[in-house]
Amino acid sequence: APEGLEPNSFEDITNYNNYYEFGTGKRDPAENAHMLTTSPWTVKIDGMVDRPGDYQFEDILAKAQIEERIYRLRCVEAWSMVIPWNGFTLASLLGRVGVQSGAKYVAFETATRPEEMPGLRYQVLNWPYREGLRLDEAMHPLTLIATGLYGKDLPNQNGAPLRLVVPWKYGFKGIKSIVRITLQDTEPFTSWNDANPREYGFYSNVNPTVDHPRWSQATERVIGAGLFGSRRETEMFNGYGEEVASLYDGMDLQKNF
């Protein structure tokens, strides 16, 4: 994992967001996300698990071991920032509900509340927003469910009350404001892949050698570096290759992008 990452300011992290349910502009989520009611919050966990059910967010949080993880977030739009998340591993949550032996994938779903999310008026994507991981990716110790940043409760524009963070994948894989987690044996529907399969693959691992058809992924703009801040070279797996490259042994990452 990358060492010595210098986190972006709280200001940066909470005013530059992609959360299309609140609008497609980078500042729209900061302006509109206050409308989202995050308490009470229920997460439905179902599919191939031993203890399916509707879990209250408080109960999930009460049983969780919260730790800080400073990760670089690399957006598919070729920019990056560094975020000090607080959260727990997805593996610990899945461990508590008991994953059945046939399960191969995890599917996630974001809340869909037209009265609280003005961006849903536009069919930018096929709502609700959905994401997915292979089970081994989901169980990886780097894969986090974030519930806070900078030691504070997660701001709504960052995906309150709980969101996924997968640091070696493009940011859009980190689904926000999760209301449903389903264990299944088939590859899940994922929203951006559905919108444009040529541009967004199921895996969407950060990979400087596979360009987005409309822009290069070789470099990234560093958010917070100011007017003359330069680009940095994008690293394979966003710099987390040592930990995760083995998950993809024998796979053609040009095809499975």
Q: Could you tell me which residues are annotated as the binding site for Mo-molybdopterin?
A: 17, 20-21, 75, 110, 158, 163, 174-176
Q: Please give the residues from 16 up to 55 whose contact with another protein meets the rule CB under 8 A.
A: 16, 20, 24, 26-27
Binding site members: 17, 20-21, 75, 110, 158, 163, 174-176
Our finding on whether 208 is near another protein (CB under 8 A) is no
Helices (H), the chain: 10-15, 28-32, 57-62, 90-97, 135-138, 191-195, 241-244
Q: Please give the residues from 65 up to 94 whose contact with another protein meets the rule CB under 8 A.
A: 77, 79
Strands 231-233 and 219-222: antiparallel
Indicate the Cα dihedral angle 121, 203, 213, 8, nearest 10°: 70
Member of 15, 38, 112, 184 binding another protein (CB under 8 A): 15
**Cα(28)–Cα(204) distance, integer angstroms:** 25
Our finding on whether 113 is near another protein (CB under 8 A) is no
Least Å distance, CB 34 to another protein, is: 18
User: Is the CB of residue 45 less than 8 Å from the CB of residue 96?
Assistant: no
Q: Please give the residues from 171 up to 200 whose contact with another protein meets the rule CB under 8 A.
A: 195
**Cα(137)–Cα(244) distance, integer angstroms:** 8
Interacting residues with another protein (CB under 8 A): 11-12, 15-16, 20, 24, 26-27, 77, 79, 122-125, 195, 211, 214-216, 218-219, 221, 223-224, 226-231
